[in-house]
Amino acid sequence: GAVVSQHPSWVICKSGTSVKIECRSLDFQATTMFWYRQFPKQSLMLMATSNEGSKATYEQGVEKDKFLINHASLTLSTLTVTSAHPEDSSFYICSAMIGAYNEQFFGPGTRLTVL
């Protein structure tokens, strides 16, 4: 099946710093990628839809100025958490859509801990 990678797999940062997470589709091109967030013992929550060459679409309640998304190529989308705070600590997961039937392949996730 299609492979999606994320980098880094985990990151620890100080409060107030910015963190960039990369999501890559390794063996296919993806015009659409998605970013999710998952807090402990909770389900995944969609944050935004990332479309190659255009602005991301954010879900209600997600601050677009805090969570910057860039989808500069058909194989790479990046999520930058700006001025991170402890409440931003979470598991961030990306997915890439392939095919005509909404099949999505997910990355392994990035564990962000903000001290």
Partner 1 sequence: DAKTTQPPSMDCAEGRAANLPCNHSTISGNEYVYWYRQIHSQGPQYIIHGLKNNETNEMASLIITEDRKSSTLILPHATLRDTAVYYCIVVAGGTSYGKLTFGQGTILTVHP
Comparing CB distances to partner 1, the nearer of 44 and 82 is 44
Rounded (5°) CA angle 98-44-66: 90
Q: Is 91 a binder of partner 1 (CB under 8 A)?
A: yes
Pairing state between β 110-114 and 10-13: parallel
Residue from 44, 62, 74, 76 touching partner 1 (CB under 8 A): that is 44
The minimum distance between CB 104 and partner 1, in angstroms, equals 6
Q: Is 8 a binder of partner 1 (CB under 8 A)?
A: no
Distances (CA, A) of 5 to 63, 83, 110, 114: 25, 24, 10, 22
Comparing CB distances to partner 1, the nearer of 15 and 39 is 39
Q: Is 30 a binder of partner 1 (CB under 8 A)?
A: no
The two structure tokens encoding residue 90: 């979470």
